[in-house]
């Protein structure tokens, strides 16, 4: 395909292009950003210089995927999941709940099957070791209503205090 009018030819360093794509495993878009070019220009150069292309599954797996976030994502249930394929609680994709992995590392033992990790402050993404507590499932079911009631009381108190402050400022 002919170059559009006004486009200047690109002097490609084929060894550098090969190194970035094959050795560094950078995508065409990343190479384009690095060189100030469009991804289409990089991809056509890869084809032109017969640089072997990665398959779709290879180029979209884990670290090479454009949305890869270091193996950490927020699940639909509101908890962080991290990529640890060798963890004993990892799912078939290799992800485990971050709060479980952090609690086990901080306490030096595996979580038993009848235990679950509870976030003391009720914030699912606050995975500091001091905020995590392992409870047996039946204990967890007893604690939850009492903790939720206490949190509601504290929130109501904060609301009353902020309203008092607002009245004082007026």
Q: pTM of the prediction?
A: 0.56
Task: Count the domains in the chain.
Answer: 2
Furthest-apart CA atoms within the chain: distance in Å:
74
- 51 within 8 A of 18, measured Cβ to Cβ: yes
What mean pLDDT do residues 136-161 have? 87
4, pLDDT greater than 80: no
> Could you tell me if residue 66 is inside a domain?
no
Whether residue 97 sits in one domain with residue 153: yes
> Could you tell me if residue 60 is inside a domain?
no
Q: What is the chain's length?
A: 170
Q: Give residue 151's pLDDT.
A: 83
Confidence class for position 31, pLDDT limits 50, 70, 90: confident
Q: Give residue 1's pLDDT.
A: 46
Q: Give residue 65's pLDDT.
A: 66
> Could you tell me if residue 4 is inside a domain?
no
> Could you tell me if residue 111 is inside a domain?
yes
Whether residue 109 sits in one domain with residue 34: no
3-state secondary structure the chain: CCCCCCCCCCCCCHHHHHHHHHHCCCCHHHHHHHHCCCHHHHHHHHHHCCCCCCCHHHHCCHHHCCCCCCCEEECCCCCEEEECCCCCCCCCCCEEEHHHHHHHHHHCCCCCCCEEEEECCCCCCCCCHHHEEEEEHHHHHHHHHHHHHHHHHHHHHHHHHHHHHHHHHC
What mean pLDDT do residues 48-68 have? 75
18: containing domain: 14-53
Name the phi and psi angles at 116, rounded to 5.
-140, 155
Q: How far apart are CA 150 and CA 156, in angstroms?
A: 10
Whether residue 80 sits in one domain with residue 159: yes
159, pLDDT greater than 50: yes
- 32 within 8 A of 42, measured Cβ to Cβ: yes
Q: How far apart are CA 162 and CA 149, in angstroms?
A: 20
């Amino acid at each position: 395909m002919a170059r559009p009018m006004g486009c200047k030819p690109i002097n490609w360093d084929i060894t550098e292009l090969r190194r970035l794509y094959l050795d560094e495993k950078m995508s065409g878009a990343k190479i384009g950003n690095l060189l100030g070019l469009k991804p289409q220009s990089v991809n056509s150069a890869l084809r032109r210089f017969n640089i072997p292309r990665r398959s779709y599954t290879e180029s979209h797996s884990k670290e090479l995927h454009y949305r890869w976030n270091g193996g950490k994502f927020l699940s639909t249930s509101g908890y962080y999941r991290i990529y640890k394929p060798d963890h004993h609680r990892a799912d078939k994709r290799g992800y485990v709940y971050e709060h479980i992995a952090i609690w086990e590392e901080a306490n030096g033992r595996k979580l038993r099957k009848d235990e679950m990790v509870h976030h003391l402050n009720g914030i699912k993404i606050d995975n500091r070791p001091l905020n995590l507590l392992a409870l047996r499932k039946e204990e967890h079911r007893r604690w939850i209503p009492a903790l939720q009631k206490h949190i509601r009381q504290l929130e109501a108190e904060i609301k009353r205090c902020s309203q008092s402050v607002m009245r004082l400022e007026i």
